[in-house]
């Protein structure tokens, strides 16, 4: 993990951040941060006074003005560097994901030959061959053959569907995968018109909300900056009326020290810290704002397939029929799955092991494995002793047994209907002309999900599951997973609608998903957490990617988000408290020569007016890098009431913010006064 975290802060990123810190001096860029924009304007004014001292009639203060300029420039550049570093890290993380993107190729039929081309070169009317394990390169219609197609990334349905030429099931969608057999298809859409292209347009049309804390802090910083700007601007004529001449560099120094430059310069650093901390949990955050927003989440929208559930149908129960026993049913189910490398086949053997049921692997030696075919809808093994073992769709196995002169147990249909009514898939198991029982396949909920959702509930977060399954299956999965609510047979538009409805009520919404059909909702949500096992479209639409594909990881992300908010609140309190001490350093220095009575406010006994101003300005600049460790480590998150949290922050960071500058400015003054 330490190597992974280190890789996120490479020398190349730092190099570009240093370069960007100068590029960001562009006033059009700086205007986005009102606090640092004011500091930059002050830096520019002092710079002009350094270049043209005779024009401003301040030749005697050249050294002082140069020091003020360099200190202000350092303050602005460091704030820009922190922001550029945050952007560079986010870009690096996004680029690392895009490196895994592989362009889909297509086996285009040209005359009698097959030519491998990029899917982007396909046009309406092109004929393409797609075999087992290959991605369907574009939207189209099957014109020859039939195949089992996994459409879970598009529809949310976990079970593969049969696609064949003619009829109602000939349409195929780009981005889905053929899991068995081979089809010939004709492309029905040009680039830019496919289902995935429509998803992308929905993603691009989605807009993220600003978090309430972000709006509140921006308002606070802007208001304080305007207030102190008005105070400093009006201070000069008032002082002149009283016979006190205040130089422009002195006024600019006062303004920079009084406005909340500390928190303004540390905002990006706090964002980096949030991204670093989620990285510890194998989550890549594309921005600090995404982590911050997670601290205020009210509603959690979760896709079912591949997110709450494994996404593959897994064996959950063996059900004997007729006069057969559980031992015999499970035994032949295992034999039929010994050479079946599909997730369903492996899950049968795992269930046998879990239930401590016995079977012999030697019986399959020398046997011929029969792969699943869309035509037969069965798989199995032909044993060396002549016995034929099959498992597959109930009606297909029934016809196979009847064709061999066997009989069908009376309760076969009853038991298979019961499995179907619970949202599962029944597979019949037969040997020659004898049906032994059923395997109950279901899209299994990932372990620990119920407990994790209970934790979310205790944090005040409502969970809603969205799935393309029918209401009965959806209700079963929702009950097993322990979510608060569910939406069945949902389309991409339905997921966006429920997110917008929650957002319209003033709530912040998080969305987890893994399919292309989840991409628009991931883009619309305030926090979009995509599973790494998901599609490219989902990962590009989200602002977080979970490398472990664990949707319950959102609990750690929420905790880190709350810690991020606490850290920013603590540093904001510290920054504002700093102004009190800096006030007692600069104000007496500005007036005590002309008004000796003001010296009573010089409670720090600073050496001279110039050393006092420079000391306060230096402290204001160096406190930003000194607070970086706290910003990176973060304030420890402890669940407590808002009132208690406010009292704690005021005591630690408010009082600390008042005391620290008195000590720091005094120590700096001891050195600066000697130099001056």
The enclosing domain of 509 has a CATH number of 3.40.50.1000
- For 525-652, where are the alpha helices, taking DSSP H only? 536-541, 554-591, 609-626, 628-633, 642-649
**What tokens does 361 get?**
């692997």
Say if residue 374 carries a ligand binding annotation: yes
Q: Provide the CATH number for the domain around residue 165.
A: 2.70.150.10
Count of residues in the chain: 676
Say yes or no: 288 and 315 in one domain: no
Q: Are residues 148 and 218 in the same domain?
A: no
Q: Give the CA dihedral 75, 79, 80, 86, nearest 10 degrees.
A: 160
> What gap in Å lies between CA 59 and CA 66, rounded to an integer?
11
Q: Three-state DSSP class for 529?
A: strand
Distance of alpha carbon 59 from alpha carbon 566, whole angstroms: 47
* Long-range pairs of 212-219 with CB within 8 A, sequence gap ≥ 24: 212/296, 212/508, 213/292, 213/295, 213/296, 213/565, 213/568, 214/289, 214/292, 214/293, 217/263, 217/568, 217/572
Consult the annotation and say whether 434 binds a ligand.
no
Looking at the structure, tell me whether residues 60 and 207 fall in a common domain.
Answer: yes
- Is 518 assigned a ligand-binding role in the annotation? yes
Alpha-carbon distance values, 246 to 110, 238, 586 (Å): 84, 10, 12
List 443's β-bridge partners, or say none: 313
The verdict on 458 and 521 lying in the same domain is: yes
Distance CA 253, CA 583 (A): 11
- State residue 333's pLDDT score: 92
Low-confidence ranges of the chain (pLDDT < 50): 1-8, 93-94, 96-102, 202-208
Tens digits of residue pLDDT in 471-518: 777 888 888 888 999 888 777 788 888 999 999 998 889 988 877 778
Using CA atoms, how far apart are residues 397 and 379, in angstroms rounded to an integer? 10
652 part of a folded domain: yes
Phi-psi region for residue 606, left (φ > 0), alpha (ψ -120 to 50) or beta?
Answer: beta
Largest CA distance in the chain: 117
415-466 pLDDT tens trace: 988 888 777 888 999 999 899 999 998 877 877 888 888 888 887 889 998 8
Q: Indicate if 328 and 426 belong to the same structural domain.
A: yes
Answer yes or no: do 356 and 426 share one domain.
Answer: yes
Give residue 380's pLDDT.
92
CB 330, CB 493: distance < 8 Å: no
Helix then strand then coil, in percent of the chain rounded to 5, is: 55, 15, 25
What is the rounded CA–CA span in Å between residue 656 and residue 268? 22
Cα separation, 91 vs 287, whole angstroms: 9
- Backbone phi, psi, residue 369, to 5°: -75, 135
Tokens for 331, please give them. Answer: 């035994």
56: which 2 tokens?
């401003």
376 annotated to a ligand binding site: yes
Structural domain includes residue 117: no
pLDDT of residue 271: 67
pTM, whole model, 2 decimals? 0.57
Q: Do residues 458 and 389 share a domain?
A: no
Q: Which residues contact 110 (CB under 8 A, 6 or more apart)?
A: none
Q: What is the pLDDT of residue 2?
A: 38
Supply the range of the domain harboring residue 652: 11-93+203-279+558-673
Distance from CA of residue 173 to its chain's centroid?
27
Do the beta carbons of residue 130 and residue 178 sit within 8 Å? yes
**One domain for residues 425 and 440:** yes
* Contact (CB, 8 A) for 251 and 613: no
What CATH number is attached to the domain comprising 395?
3.40.1110.10
* Residue 115 falls inside a structural domain: no
4 in any annotated domain? no
Which of 279-282's residues contact partners 24+ apart within 8 Å by CB, and which partners?
279/1, 279/4, 279/5, 279/8, 280/1, 280/5, 281/553, 281/556, 281/557, 281/560, 282/1, 282/546, 282/547, 282/548, 282/553
Residue at 534 is within a domain:
yes
Where does a domain end: 516, 547, 578? Answer: 547
- Looking at the 3D structure of the chain, how many domains does it have? 4
The answer to the question of residue 582 being in a domain is yes
The confidence score (pLDDT) of residue 3 equals 39
Question: What is the C-alpha separation between 388 and 347, in angstroms, rounded?
Answer: 21
Residue 514 labelled as part of a binding site:
yes
Instruction: Determine the pLDDT at residue 203.
Output: 46
Determine if residue 422 is labeled as part of a ligand binding site.
no
40 is in an annotated binding site: no
Residue 379 annotated in ligand binding: yes
* Residue (of 214, 268, 267, 206) closest to 528 by Cα position: 206
DSSP-derived 3-state class of residue 39: helix
Which of residues 547, 575, 598 is at a domain's end? 547
Q: Which residues are catalytic?
A: 303
Which pair of tokens denotes residue 152?
A: 């879970």
* In-domain check, residue 295: yes
Is 101 within a domain? no
Q: Are 508 and 462 in contact (CB under 8 A)?
A: no
Judging by DSSP bridges, how do beta strands 283-285 and 544-546 pair with one another? Answer: antiparallel
My answer on whether 439 and 467 are in the same domain is no
340 belongs to an annotated ligand binding site: yes
Among the three residues 419, 444, 469, which one is the final residue of a domain in this structure? 444
Residues 6+ apart with CB under 8 A from 235: 246, 251, 254
324, 432: one domain: yes
Query: Is the same domain home to 603 and 534?
Result: no
Q: Is 523 annotated as a binding residue?
A: no
Task: Tell whether residue 341 is among the known ligand binding residues.
Answer: no
Residue 240, strand partner residues: none
Residues 455 and 340 in one domain: no
């Amino acid at each position: 993990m330490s190597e992974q975290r280190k890789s996120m802060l490479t020398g190349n990123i730092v190099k570009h951040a240093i370069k960007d810190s100068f590029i960001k001096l562009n006033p059009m860029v700086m205007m986005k941060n009102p606090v640092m924009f004011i500091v930059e304007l002050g830096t520019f004014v002092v710079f002009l006074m350094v270049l043209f001292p005779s024009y401003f009639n301040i030749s005697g203060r050249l050294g002082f003005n140069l020091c003020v300029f360099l200190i202000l420039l350092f303050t602005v550049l460091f704030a820009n560097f922190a922001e550029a570093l945050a952007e560079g890290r986010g870009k690096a993380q996004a680029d690392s994901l895009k490196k895994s993107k592989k362009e889909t190729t297509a086996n285009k039929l040209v005359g009698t030959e097959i030519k491998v081309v990029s899917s982007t070169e396909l046009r309406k009317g092109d004929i393409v061959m797609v075999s087992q394990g290959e991605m369907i390169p574009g939207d189209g219609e099957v014109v020859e053959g039939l195949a089992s197609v996994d459409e879970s990334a598009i529809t949310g349905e976990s079970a593969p569907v049969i696609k064949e030429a003619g009829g109602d099931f000939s349409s195929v969608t780009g981005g889905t995968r053929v899991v068995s057999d081979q089809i010939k298809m004709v492309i029905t859409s040009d680039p830019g018109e496919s289902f995935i292209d429509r998803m992308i347009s929905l993603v691009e049309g989605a807009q993220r909300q600003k978090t309430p804390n972000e709006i509140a802090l921006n308002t606070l910083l802007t208001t304080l900056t305007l207030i102190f700007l008005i105070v400093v601007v009006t201070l000069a004529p008032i002082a002149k009326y009283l016979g006190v001449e205040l130089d422009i560099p002195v006024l600019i120094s006062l303004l920079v020290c009084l406005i909340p430059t500390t928190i303004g310069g540390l905002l990006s650093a706090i964002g980096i810290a949030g991204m670093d901390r989620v990285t510890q949990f194998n989550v890549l955050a594309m921005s600090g704002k995404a982590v911050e927003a997670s601290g205020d989440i009210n509603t959690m929208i979760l896709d079912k397939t591949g997110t709450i559930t494994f996404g593959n149908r897994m064996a959950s129960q063996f059900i004997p029929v007729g006069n057969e026993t559980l031992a015999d049913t499970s035994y032949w189910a295992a034999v039929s799955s010994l050479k079946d490398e599909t997730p369903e086949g492996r899950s049968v053997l795992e269930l046998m092991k879990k239930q401590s049921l016995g079977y012999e692997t030697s019986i399959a030696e020398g046997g011929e494995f029969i792969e699943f075919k869309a035509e037969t809808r069965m798989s199995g093994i032909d044993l060396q002793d002549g016995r034929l073992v099959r498992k597959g769709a109930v009606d297909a196995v029934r016809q196979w047994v009847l064709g061999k002169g066997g009989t069908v147990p009376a309760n076969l249909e009853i038991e298979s209907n019961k499995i179907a009514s619970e949202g599962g898939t029944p597979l019949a198991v037969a040997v020659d002309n004898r049906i032994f029982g059923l395997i109950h396949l279901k899209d299994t909920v990932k372990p620990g999900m119920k407990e994790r959702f209970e934790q979310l509930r205790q944090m005040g977060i409502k969970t809603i599951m969205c799935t393309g399954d029918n209401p009965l299956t959806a209700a079963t999965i929702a009950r097993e997973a322990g979510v608060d609510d569910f939406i069945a047979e949902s389309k991409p538009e339905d997921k966006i609608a429920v997110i917008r409805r929650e957002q319209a009520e003033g709530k912040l919404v998080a969305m987890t998903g893994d399919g292309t059909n989840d991409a628009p909702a991931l883009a619309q949500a305030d926090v979009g957490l995509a599973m790494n096992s998901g599609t490219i479209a989902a990962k590009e639409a989200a602002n977080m990617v979970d490398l472990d594909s664990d949707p319950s990881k959102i609990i750690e992300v929420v905790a880190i988000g709350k810690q991020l908010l606490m850290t920013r609140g603590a540093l904001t309190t510290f920054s504002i408290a700093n102004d009190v001490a800096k006030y007692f350093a600069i104000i007496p220095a500005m007036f005590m020569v002309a008004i000796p009575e003001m010296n009573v406010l010089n409670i720090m006994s600073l050496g001279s007016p110039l050393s006092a101003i420079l000391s306060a300005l230096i402290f204001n600049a160096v406190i930003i890098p000194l607070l970086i460790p706290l910003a990176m480590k973060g304030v420890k998150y402890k669940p407590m009431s808002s009132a208690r949290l406010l009292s704690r922050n005021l005591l630690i960071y408010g009082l600390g913010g008042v005391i620290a500058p008195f000590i720091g400015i005094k120590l700096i003054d001891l050195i600066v006064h000697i130099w001056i």
